[in-house]
Amino acid sequence: MVKALTVSGSIRQGSYNRLLARHVGRKLAAAGAEVTDLDLGDFDLPVFNEDLEPDQVPEAAGRLAAVFRAHQIVFVACPEYNGGVTPLLVNTIAWLSRQKPSPFRQRVFGIGGVSSGKYGTIWALSHLRDQLSKIGGLVAPGLLGIGPAEEAFDANGDPVEPAIVAKIDQLVTALMTIRIG
């Protein structure tokens, strides 16, 4: 059985991106994947600093890399901060990129995001796609930007807009179909 990991770039309570990650996780499970919903708040990572290498690399970086390596699919729900990727995700990716073997290679990534604006994190997703691709991740095609957040989900945490539901279904199909190696 294929294993999928869902991650939110926000650890705040009530995060719409956590809702999106959980929704995509449910869709992946319905498509036959074994899904793990990861909370980045469970991994204490200081601000990345090369001076900490090699003797002071946080143990959490190794644990997190092992979790990534154990999954073939990774879905990242990415909020947008000032047109870019959240500091939490930037720091997480920085620490993971230093782990050997790479936790990004041999993974298929899906990306999406929710924001309060009508553009739905498209700028941050563009940056995230570039970053993941440059460090060896294969990012599934498509742009899953959702906004405005306050109108995007029903009481069950499911998207309400039919076009968004269709985009999520397309992304899940791509994630379950694309294989590396």
Q: 124-176, pLDDT tens digit by residue?
A: 999 999 999 999 999 999 889 999 999 999 999 999 999 999 999 999 999 99
Q: Coil, strand or helix: which one is 58? A: coil
Predicted structure pTM score? 0.96
- Cα dist from 36 to 3, 73, 106, 123, 128, whole Å: 8, 10, 18, 27, 21
Q: For domain 3-177, give the CATH superfamily.
A: Flavodoxin domain (3.40.50.360)
Extract the tokens encoding 52: 């900490």
Q: Tell me the per-residue pLDDT of 90-132, one tens digit each, with 9 for 90 and over.
A: 999 999 999 999 999 999 999 999 999 888 899 999 999 999 9
For the chain, what are the domain ranges?
3-177
Mapped onto helix, strand or coil, the DSSP state of residue 148 is coil
Distance of alpha carbon 9 from alpha carbon 6, whole angstroms = 10
